[in-house]
Chain A
């Protein structure tokens, strides 16, 4: 009967949709997918029990973290989850971890001092450890991929709703799409460049970063990212980083191959400025100072590439550069050691050049913070 109804609707569509827009089709496709997805559990009541069990299995693996913050709108808490029986905890790298007094509270209310084992600020992840054994945990290696359109659960201590032995908050949603975050550089302020699961639920709230994204069977599929706002249209992105993006580095950290110090150094080295390429820009005095080159130091990478004074930089890689500030930002995101392609306007002509990456010295932490505050 259902089929007949669908069919008649389809025919109606075909008749009346001569002028139909593709968007409508997409909606229809989604509806059909939804119907297929829905066809698992036969009723809401029957679906409850396994879901409750899945949630019950995840909750003891969740961790509430308390650390630095608590001033000027920065929450002093975030979420995390256990990834080994011996107390390894995976979370998002953030200012909250920037303290010697990091507290981890387990699902049953047990409280521990957590130590930073290692971190990768580029992937925005950190591995912590507490001294305990026989802990319930997620096995990262067994994390399944999650398909577009699949139903997911987000576990986190958003808004620090839960304290002590109170379980993490659970939200439900649909995995809207798996996409690349770096396509939107200059829009989303995050160092993470890679695939993300975009979610249709408001999961990325204060304190939710580091939370677990699971499927409806309670299997870990992603780690909730930080709050991320699109600076162009002020909308907020709700996303999680797929676990397969994290497993390699997490293994390295757990194996002791990556230490917290090495990672910090790596993150600092990334901060490159134009001077290191041998470029001197015109003074940045306007809200959007055009990135004109004032001088090129002899023998520098810029010199070798053939850049000239009065060149106006218009592209870094595929990104349009609108101001000195955005040029600095784009260069700062350039990959270590890789050449950078620039397009400059020289007179009426567009010239493409390739800059070799400069050998850069480490910035002192203070200088780095200044640079980040620009």
Chain B
């Protein structure tokens, strides 16, 4: 910084007005002083090195930052490339002004076409993909939970859309606060668990990266507190934490409108400021897992919870449907449960709202009442925290399948990466990931010849033999206690035998149907994104598959490609039947699990230790 200032001096001088002799004298005096002092006193080599390091870090970080321009020049913002193949993060409120395609300028002076991939309107995040290269400079993502108040940080972006030559603007600052909560506008644009910094975030910085001192992305800038001074930075900006975005990244790559999560229970502080369950719905997972009114929440998703805000912070970083641990206290007893989070919105509602459809009658309350809490600013006064700099009041995103808007024709390269389908932002990327997951799963063998009946034999861990028969028409199991059979043609949601399994036979029947027929013949299948599994490290690719009236979630290990879990939901208000598939071994050239744990509700129904698979030849279809 200082060196740069010096470099600019001759220019300044050349254009400066006639000056005083004093100035000249002062300079001479300094020159003499500098000449007479030892080298080390002039510039500490460590300072010079720090300076050089910083310049390098900023240069590298700048090269991954993009200036986003909406087609036709109506708006724009910033973004950051996070992988060499061109995936880039920005704000939903930036890309919503752009529609399907946008132009992205990089610091090398090149302008690239980019296409929308997926959006998270609640979290104000959008994923886009820059096209035309497979070696884009990209920024590494940090672990934003390690960020501490006082850490150096810098923002790079396109404030006030200054970067007409695509050279981004850099602003240094310190982290002012971590795990901040900023209230949503209705149910959208909620900044939970965000990072507050005094590095300048101005209109146009939205969607751009906030870096740590080492040049790793710690967040995506998108919001600031403004008030009487107009929409310019007053040293209070907020970035969506990159750890939150990592949770959503798989979902964003699915080409969908991604939803956030709720617990289905509301907390409030009691007189000792402890977060207590104040209200709980009776049709949600957390209720079925045993949480009750009056329970004290101790930790959530591994983070200690001491206030209601802390709880909302944690809740805000997870996608709908994720299962996270919750620890609560009741009568001095501590209980740990795993809770499946439900969505904030209904699917159609979210898509409509993302499309700028009619506003819902009422958003969530701006602030949950906390008894005994200090007085809050009453409604009606100017909000201390404005919506993001570029404002959500931008023209709504023209969703595929939405009302036809006249648009400039898409560039050829964008057309190749865009598929319109109702309910999706860009179905191209959903198909891409479905294909990827299925290809990885079938890499060790093609299951499609196995269209005949399947027989699976083995022992129960609890003791006794079992035999399973699976066919197109029916699924049957023989257990030491007796036999059970369900037809695979009727309403599957009504056939949850054997009792206590949550629908093991239907699940096994669907498993066979998927393997033998593949996703295209199965029914409605789409790529959901990534999600964790209880007891397993990391995130898993999830396919959502609907057949008949039941919905299944299939979890694939991204490393091995194996199907590791199958959850069958007969009804959204019921617990799923869960199969955990492991000990894959080769059977006739294909991989099959030899250990299947069947779980339902809070417990394990059975553990199947398989010792034999037998596949009958497919029979010619009757009557056709």
B13 contacts the other chain (CB 8 A): yes
**Most chain A beta-carbon neighbours within 10 Å: one of B7, B148, B233, B269:** B148
Cross-interface CB contact of B43 among A2, A13, A51, A72, cutoff 8 Å: A2
Q: From B3, B27, B43, B372, give the contact of A10 (CB < 8 A).
A: B27
CB contact list, A21-59 vs B, under 8 A: 21-25, 27-29, 31-32, 34-35, 38-39, 41-45, 47-48, 51-52, 54-55, 59
Nearest A-chain residue to B37, judged by Cβ: A3
Secondary structure call for the B interface: mixed
Cβ of A130 to closest chain B Cβ, rounded Å:
14
Does B273 interact with chain A (Cβ within 8 Å)? yes
B24 interface residue per 8 A CB criterion: yes
Residue on A nearest B28 in the bound complex, by CB? A14
CB distance from A149 to the nearest CB of B (A): 13
Task: Flag whether B26 is at the interface (Cβ < 8 A).
Answer: yes
Stretch at the interface among B48-56, B354-362, B601-609: B48-56
Residues of B within 8 A of A47 (CB): 152
Q: Any chain B CB within 8 A of the CB of A85?
A: no
A142 at the A/B interface (Cβ < 8 Å)? no
Quick check: A170 and B307 within 8 Å, CB to CB?
no
* B27 A14 Cβ-Cβ under 8 A: yes
Contact present for B24 and A18 (CB under 8 Å): yes
Among listed A86-94, A118-126, A156-164, A185-193, interface-contacting one: A156-164
User: Which A residues are within 8 Å of any B CB, using their own CB?
Assistant: 1-3, 5-7, 9-14, 16-25, 27-29, 31-32, 34-35, 38-39, 41-45, 47-48, 51-52, 54-55, 59, 64, 66-67, 69-77, 103, 105, 109, 111, 153, 158-172, 201-203, 205-207, 227, 236
**Besides the contacts A31-B6, A171-B176, A171-B235, what 12 more A-B pairs have beta carbons closer than 8 Å?**
A6-B42, A9-B7, A25-B22, A25-B27, A31-B5, A42-B44, A48-B151, A55-B150, A66-B374, A160-B384, A170-B176, A201-B235
Asked if B45 is at the interface (CB within 8 A of a chain A CB), the reply is yes
Q: Once the chains are docked, how many angstroms separate the CA of A308 from the CA of B6?
A: 61
Contact assessment for B10 and A10 in the assembled complex, using a CB-CB cutoff below 8 Å: no
Which residues of chain A have C-beta atoms less than 8 A from B378's C-beta?
Answer: 70-71
Interface string of B247-269 (1 = CB under 8 A from A): 00000000000000000000001
CB distance from A303 to the nearest CB of B (A): 46
The A interface, classified by DSSP as helix, strand, loop or mixed, is mixed
Decide if A13 touches B44 in the complex (CB within 8 Å).
no
A306 to B546, CA, bound (A): 99
Contact across chains for B27 and A2 when beta carbons are under 8 A apart: no
Nearest 7 pairs between A and B by C-beta?
Answer: A66-B374, A42-B46, A2-B43, A202-B235, A21-B19, A3-B42, A159-B225
Flag if A25 contacts B26 (CB, 8 Å): yes
B583 at the interface (CB under 8 A from A): no
B→A interface (CB under 8 Å): 2-3, 5-7, 9-10, 12-14, 16-20, 22-24, 26-28, 30-31, 34-35, 39, 42-50, 53-54, 148-152, 173-177, 179-180, 196, 198, 213-214, 225, 227-229, 233-236, 269, 273, 306-307, 309, 372-378, 381-382, 384-385
CA distance A111 to B537 in the complex (A): 40
**B7, B16, B54 pick with most chain A CB within 10 angstroms:** B16
What residues on B are CB-neighbors of A105 within 8 Å? Answer: 374
Q: B5, A35: Cβ atoms under 8 Å? A: no
The one of B7, B10, B177, B374 that contacts A170, using a Cβ cutoff of 8 Å: B177
Using known A-B contacts A44-B152, A166-B177, determine if residue A25 contacts B14 with beta carbons closer than 8 Å: no
8 pairs, A vs B, C-beta closer than 8 Å = A25-B27, A38-B47, A39-B46, A43-B46, A44-B213, A161-B236, A170-B176, A201-B198
B150 pairs with A73, CB closer than 8 A: no
Check A111 against B273 for contact (C-beta < 8 Å). yes
A17 near B13: Cβ-Cβ < 8 Å: yes
Q: Complex formed: what's the CA distance from A55 to B372 in Å?
A: 29
